[in-house]
């Protein structure tokens, strides 16, 4: 990459450091200007436009933050990188909230310095290429790990409701910076789709997007999966393998179900994010990583912080920018457009003409509580397409035992959901044990006990998942197990969500 025409303003009051940064950048080919105070920087900014502004936070006549505020209030396009003192996480987060592209911690590691400036610069050079890139949805393959397969095609965030318009606007506004983003919403509301959109609209679009299901990884494997492992680090590690951080280098790391991460791993993740370095299991060396973190949760993480289930410092780090997607029942006006888009998607994947929903089907849909949100709607339509034999689709009416009046993932701080349609009372939770009694032990002893037990477990899981339109949290609740457990069991027994393209 050529930096020849890239102008950078470096603001620092320590002449030695200023010279060090200046020389480092000159060697890379940038055109460098310097200032030693807020006032000097303002004078330079008045005279010309720069591509990048790098400023120390503490300056003799004020704070670097004031320069960020100037850029913002004047609508200027400079990308700002802020240097903060080690351990002052608050400053870094405040700078990102103020619109800084990224931050560096002092004492500044020069390799990281070059990397961060190049990353800011790349965004500018790629501005024209912000349109969707072919590789935007690539998930780096991790043999035997629960990363998700890349979606077959780019999927747009559909929904004419005001709130979805605001979500799209927010994505467009924040995609370009390095600020960590926390996406909140019930299961199936489209959190992963938002993460993909953030990645696609960032300057990292041509880099990898790695999606990790934090709730699906057995606790003892977390460290190796996140940070990689050296050959011989544990039994069975017969070759070096990279972790999610290395796989996402230069791109976006999407940490789904972040609230499911155990506390011990939360501490390690915080360190990796702060230091931008990871140490693979069994290695003495740390490796620098350049990833943008987007995380998602259906949980009320603020409440989890109160109860000590989630680390406050990590929450603070991940939640620099927050995007909330309301449940579908609170934006019913999105349903017709979503149906149309989902039917087009289903038709194009099966090579069939796009089916139309009958008036009756739309009426029936209005009676569905859709606790599994867009994913449930998608599954409902998939079933309808599979069962229909004409051009017009019918939709199965909501079943009394399938409708689930409580939100699948309630946000504790939010008011009770307002349903358009009254929903039937939930059935007693004690149905599950009765069902289990239906599995009589075989007359003859099984020749392979494990295979026999696996068969039963698989059958129960598939039935529970189907009952809830493959909403894993609802199915896990129904079976009295945790989300982590159901994900692990699905992984082990190779049970796939049909909307991911693989039949159970």
Binding interface with ligand ATP (CB under 6 A): 155, 157-159, 185, 187-193, 256, 298, 338, 341, 374-375, 378, 499
Asked if residues 102 and 120 have their Cβ atoms less than 8 Å apart, the reply is yes
Query: Which tokens in the block code for residue 167?
Result: 């979500």
Q: Which is nearer to ligand ATP, 109 or 330 (CB)?
A: 330
Number of residues that make up the chain:
504
Q: What angle separates helix 64-73 from helix 89-97, to the nearest 10 degrees?
A: 10
Minimum separation from the CB atom of position 236 to ligand ATP (A): 29
Q: Which is nearer to ligand ATP, 104 or 377 (CB)?
A: 377
Asked if residues 148 and 228 have their Cβ atoms less than 8 Å apart, the reply is no
The residue whose two tokens read 């406050």 is 312
Cis amide prior to 373 (ω within 30 degrees): no
Minimum separation from the CB atom of position 500 to ligand ATP (A): 8
C-alpha 173/C-alpha 409 separation (Å) is 27
Using Cβ positions, the residue closest to ligand ATP within the complex turns out to be 190
CB atoms within 10 A of CB 316: 15
Query: Which tokens in the block code for residue 282?
Result: 């069994």
Torsion angle in degrees (nearest 10) through CA of 471, 475, 478, 480: -130
Q: Max alpha carbon distance in the chain (Å)?
A: 89
Q: Which is nearer to ligand ATP, 190 or 355 (CB)?
A: 190
Minimum separation from the CB atom of position 257 to ligand ATP (A): 7
90: part of which helix (H) or strand (E)?
A: helix 89-97
Minimum separation from the CB atom of position 395 to ligand ATP (A): 17
Minimum separation from the CB atom of position 215 to ligand ATP (A): 9
Minimum separation from the CB atom of position 179 to ligand ATP (A): 20
Q: What angle separates helix 359-366 from helix 373-387, to the nearest 10 degrees?
A: 150
Minimum separation from the CB atom of position 209 to ligand ATP (A): 13
């Amino acid at each position: 990459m050529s930096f020849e025409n890239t102008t950078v303003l470096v603001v620092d009051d320590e002449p030695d450091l200023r010279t060090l940064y200046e020389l480092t950048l000159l060697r890379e080919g940038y055109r460098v200007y310097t200032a030693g105070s807020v006032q000097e920087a303002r004078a330079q900014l008045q005279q010309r436009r720069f591509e990048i502004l790098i400023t120390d936070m503490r300056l003799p006549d004020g704070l670097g933050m004031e320069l960020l505020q100037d850029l913002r209030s004047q609508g200027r396009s400079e990308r700002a990188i802020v240097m903060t003192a080690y351990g002052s996480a608050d400053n870094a987060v405040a700078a990102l909230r103020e619109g800084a592209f990224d931050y560096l911690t002092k004492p500044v590691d020069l390799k990281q310095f070059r990397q961060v400036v190049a990353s800011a610069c790349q965004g500018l050079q790629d501005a024209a290429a912000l349109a969707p890139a072919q590789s935007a949805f690539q998930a780096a393959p991790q043999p035997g790990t629960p990363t998700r397969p890349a979606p077959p095609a780019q999927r747009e965030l559909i929904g004419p409701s005001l709130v979805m318009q605001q979500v799209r606007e927010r994505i467009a506004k924040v995609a370009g910076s390095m600020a960590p983003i926390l996406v909140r919403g019930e299961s199936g509301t489209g959190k992963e789709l938002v993460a993909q959109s953030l990645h696609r609209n960032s300057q990292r679009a041509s880099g990898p997007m790695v999606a990790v299901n934090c709730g699906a990884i057995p606790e003892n494997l977390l460290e190796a999966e996140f940070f990689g492992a050296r050959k011989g680090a544990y039994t069975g590690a017969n070759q070096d393998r990279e972790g999610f951080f290395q796989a996402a280098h230069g791109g976006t790391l999407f940490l789904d179900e972040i609230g499911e991460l155990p506390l011990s791993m939360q501490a390690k993740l915080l360190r990796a994010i702060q230091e931008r370095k990871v140490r693979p299991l069994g290695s003495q060396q740390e490796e620098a990583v350049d990833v943008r973190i987007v995380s998602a949760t259906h949980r009320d993480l603020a409440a989890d912080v109160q109860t000590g289930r989630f680390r406050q410092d990590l929450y603070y780090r991940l939640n620099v920018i927050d995007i909330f997607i309301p449940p579908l029942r609170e934006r019913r006006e999105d349903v017709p457009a979503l149906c149309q888009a989902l039917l087009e998607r289903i038709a194009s994947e099966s090579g069939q003409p796009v089916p139309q929903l009958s008036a009756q089907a739309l009426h029936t849909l209005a009676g569905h509580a859709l606790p599994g949100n867009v994913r449930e709607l998608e599954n409902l339509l998939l079933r309808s397409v599979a069962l229909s034999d004409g051009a017009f689709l019918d939709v199965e009416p909501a079943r009394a035992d399938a409708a689930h009046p409580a939100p699948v993932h309630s946000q504790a701080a939010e008011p009770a959901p307002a349903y358009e349609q009254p929903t039937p009372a939930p059935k007693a939770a004690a149905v599950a044990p009765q069902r289990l009694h239906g599995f009589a032990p075989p007359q003859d002893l099984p020749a392979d006990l494990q295979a026999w037990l696996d068969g039963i477990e698989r059958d129960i899981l598939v039935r529970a998942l189907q009952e809830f339109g493959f909403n894993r949290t609802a199915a896990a609740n129904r079976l009295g197990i945790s989300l982590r457990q159901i994900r692990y069991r699905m992984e082990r027994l190779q049970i796939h969500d049909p909307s991911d393209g693989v039949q159970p």
